[in-house]
Amino acid sequence: MSEDIERHREKMRRRKEVQDREVAEKTIEKGLLAVHTGPGKGKSTAAFGLALRMLGYERKVVVVQFIKGAWDTGERRALERFGELAQFHALGEGFTWETQDKARDIAACQRAWEQARLALAREDVALVVLDELNIALRYGYLDEATVLPGLAARPPGQHVVITGRNAPVWLTEAADLVTEMTLVKHHFRDGVKAQQGFEF
């Protein structure tokens, strides 16, 4: 028994040396561009987790929602409690199959991008969440020529997280971190409706 404990301790000591060396080699500090995409649930949820983490350090966060907008959501209610540290702009008009008005959807996305552009220019904002921007890009409501320069021109220390399925290749190539949420199982397929506090 004591030999097993000692072997484990030695294995962990060696592993710690490797980890410590890897961490010490990482010296770059900069604002990151993260993309949460894929068919699985949790893309926006993960982005709001980052927002909560940033707010925990009393750093400013701006959220711009491109498709969502009409709903009363728990994340919006929570972030509004942070006062001036958090700004929440729900500028979408619902999913495209709900509005059924392409011109209206494009106009809403353009208004949302203008709000995003203002946030991306602010030195005092630590994190910008562009929620469901990928959906707007997928449907051509906004394009690379509009979005990429705004992302590139942001202050050097500002982090951005973009959510939504079907992130375009040009965006994933520009990003520092890309996470694809995979769908293994979803309760919606079994007839379970979206529930307050879990989906919204």
2 in any annotated domain: no
- Average pLDDT on 42-49 reads 97
Q: What angle do CA 117, 153, 32 make, to 5 degrees?
A: 95
For residue 95, pLDDT beyond 60 = no
Identify the top-confidence range among 50-59, 96-105, 180-189: 50-59
Residue-number span of the structural domain to which 161 is assigned: 29-190
Q: What is the pLDDT of residue 101?
A: 78
Cα 67 to its chain centre, rounded Å, is: 14
Token pair 């958090």: residue:
86
CATH code (residue 175): 3.40.50.300
What is the average pLDDT across 84-94?
A: 87
In this predicted model, what pLDDT tens digit does every residue of 151-191 receive, in sequence order? 999 999 999 999 999 999 999 999 999 999 999 998 888 89
**Would 197 be classed as within a structural domain?**
no
The CA distance from 147 to 87, in Å, is 20
How many domains are there within the chain?
A: 1
Alpha helices in 122-199 (DSSP H): 133-138, 144-152, 169-174
Establish if 10 belongs to a structural domain: no
First to last CA, the chain: 50
What are the backbone dihedrals phi and psi of residue 116, each rounded to the nearest 5 degrees, phi first?
Answer: -65, -45
In DSSP terms, 65 is beta-bridged to 90, 131
Give the pLDDT confidence of 130-140 residue by residue, as tens digits: 999 999 999 99
> Does residue 15 form part of some domain?
no
Domain assignment of residue 159, yes or no: yes
Return d(Cα 176, Cα 121) in angstroms, integer. 19
